[in-house]
């Protein structure tokens, strides 16, 4: 086994966005095809970066109150395939996930408002799936 210690300049990342850090670390590095086997062992954040993170906007109790779910973990998933579904099929996938017992779904980070599935269209079908 080999170990590599890699440090990135803090200015490469958006302040307060742990998602941005992990998308860069995991999404880009693990997607590098020249590396066959890779395992992330540890991540350390400089205090200066941690201080830019305000924490969640409302907290788990508010989320539980909104969903009326208590006494167990909240369960969710990312809709797959991440690209290629029509807005209608995306809504259907959300419906099936919720009907199967999940509490929430989320978009993959690559899903935005592509020509084959515009945001507003997807939103309408997802809202229909939640009713």
Contact 103, 64 (CB under 8 A): no
Hey, is 77 helix, strand or coil?
strand
Summarised one tens digit per residue, pLDDT across range 42-78 is 999 999 999 998 877 788 899 899 999 999 999 999 9
According to DSSP, residue 106 is labeled: E
Query: How high is the pLDDT of residue 104?
Result: 94
ω into 81 cis (within 30 of 0): yes
List the pLDDT tens digit at each of the 131 positions of the chain: 788 888 888 888 889 888 888 888 887 677 777 777 778 889 999 999 999 988 777 888 998 999 999 999 999 999 998 888 999 999 999 999 999 999 999 998 778 888 888 999 999 999 999 98
Rounded to whole angstroms, how far apart are CA atoms 104 and 67?
Answer: 9
pTM here?
Answer: 0.60
Rounded to whole angstroms, how far apart are CA atoms 40 and 55?
Answer: 24
Residues found in the chain: 131
Q: What is the mean pLDDT of the chain?
A: 88
For the chain, what are the domain ranges? 10-50, 61-130
Query: How high is the pLDDT of residue 98?
Result: 96
Rounded to whole angstroms, how far apart are CA atoms 80 and 7?
Answer: 32
């Amino acid at each position: 086994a080999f170990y590599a210690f890699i440090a990135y300049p803090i200015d490469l990342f958006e302040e307060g966005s742990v998602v941005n850090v992990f998308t860069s670390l995991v999404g880009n590095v693990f997607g590098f095809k020249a590396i066959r086997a890779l395992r992330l062992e540890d991540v350390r954040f400089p205090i200066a970066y941690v201080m830019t993170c305000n924490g969640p906007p409302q907290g788990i109790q508010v989320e539980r109150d909104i969903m009326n779910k208590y006494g167990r973990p909240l369960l969710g998933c990312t809709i797959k395939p991440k690209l290629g579904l029509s807005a209608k099929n995306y809504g259907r996938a959300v419906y099936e996930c919720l009907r199967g017992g999940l509490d929430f779904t989320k978009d993959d980070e690559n899903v935005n408002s592509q020509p084959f599935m515009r945001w507003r269209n997807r939103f309408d079908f997802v809202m229909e799936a939640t009713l």
